[in-house]
Every structure is written in structure tokens, then in C-alpha cells.
Amino acid sequence: MSLPRKLKNMNLFNEGESYLGEIKTVGLPKLTRKMEDYRGGGMNAPIKVDMGMGDDGLVLESTFGGLDLLTLRQFGMEKVDGVYMRFAGAYQRDDTGEVDAVEVVVRGRHEEIDGGDSEPGEDTEHKVVTNCAYYKLTVNGKVEIEIDVLGFKEVVDGKDRLAAQRKAIGL
């Protein structure tokens, strides 16, 4: 029996600026597929056909304690990949003590900045929703998943799953 790797600590960087002590939560992008039912002649049941990534895209959600001017100044970014953010997490197993370094790099732009409720003498926080055009997950220095929406690349465990499609359409 083994115990799971649990997040013990983390940091978030925005354009290289550390949010250590300011970042409260990070919702890493959910990886989803758009699957559609298909049932042809001679099939007794439908199967799900993979139509690519899910329609909700790649979204990073973050919550900061207090006021974050850097993020506010990035609101309305002209470029779809104009904001560079990096999550760094330390995941540890309590049975072995082993620590895994997990890094998620995204490029995108902020869709929503929620200043929350303001009350004198009470905790304040800002919630930010960032839509991502690029995503890379690295664990212990090995790139596990890299998705470049604009570059039409989807690399999982070293295999570019869109390479044949790019070739077929002349890219």
C-alpha cells in the first residue's frame, strides 16, 4: 500500500513576479475532450468519438490575498497569449517522504478579475480567471503534457498527437 502525493506547498508567478505569501488558491486548467456519440449501421450501441479538446478551453483560476496591481494592469491584454503565469507545487508522499516538483506554465489573458467584497478590517481577496492559449505540465523536470492551441500541438508523454493531422492539412 502507498499513500498519495499531496500538495504541501505552492507558489504562483506572473511574468516572473512571485506571489509567495499572496497566493491563496490556484485552480489548474481542467483537461477535457469534446466527445460526441456516433452509432453507425451494425453497431449495437453508440461510441464516443473524440472531436478534440473541450469547448470550455483551458482555464486557470487563482485567488490572491489583498490587492494585486500587476494583474489589474494586464486586464484587456490585446494578445491571446500575452500573460505568462507559472504554478510551482511541491507534492509529497507521507509514506516515503518523496517530494515531486510539479510545474504548470500557461500563456493567456485574463477574462475576469473579481475584487470580491470590501469591508474595513476584514480579509480581502481578488479572484482571477485566465483563459489559456498554451499549457505545459512538467513533473520532476519531465514534460508530461504540452498544449499549444495556436501552434496546433498536443504533446502527451512525448508524443505529438496532432502531428499526423498537421501533415494531412499541409502544415
Q: What is the pLDDT of residues 120-129, one digit of tens each?
A: 888 899 999 9
Q: What is the pLDDT of residues 51-107, one digit of tens each?
A: 999 999 999 999 999 889 999 999 999 999 999 999 999 999 999 999 999 999 999
Q: What is the pLDDT of residues 50-62, one digit of tens each?
A: 999 999 999 999 9
Intra-chain end-to-end CA distance of the chain, in Å: 48
Q: CA-CA distance, 100 to 10, in Å (whole number)?
A: 12
What is the β-pairing status of strands 58-65 and 23-27? antiparallel
Q: Tell me the β-bridge partners of 91.
A: 7, 100
Q: Provide the pLDDT for residue 141.
A: 98
Domain boundaries in the chain? Answer: 5-35+46-145
DSSP 3-state assignment of 49? Answer: strand
Taking residues 108-135, report their average pLDDT. Answer: 94
The answer to whether 110 and 77 have CB atoms below 8 angstroms apart is yes
DSSP 34-61: EEEEE--TT-SS-EEEEEEE-TT-EEEE
**CATH class of residue range 5-35+46-145:** mainly beta
Taking residues 146-165, report their average pLDDT. Answer: 98
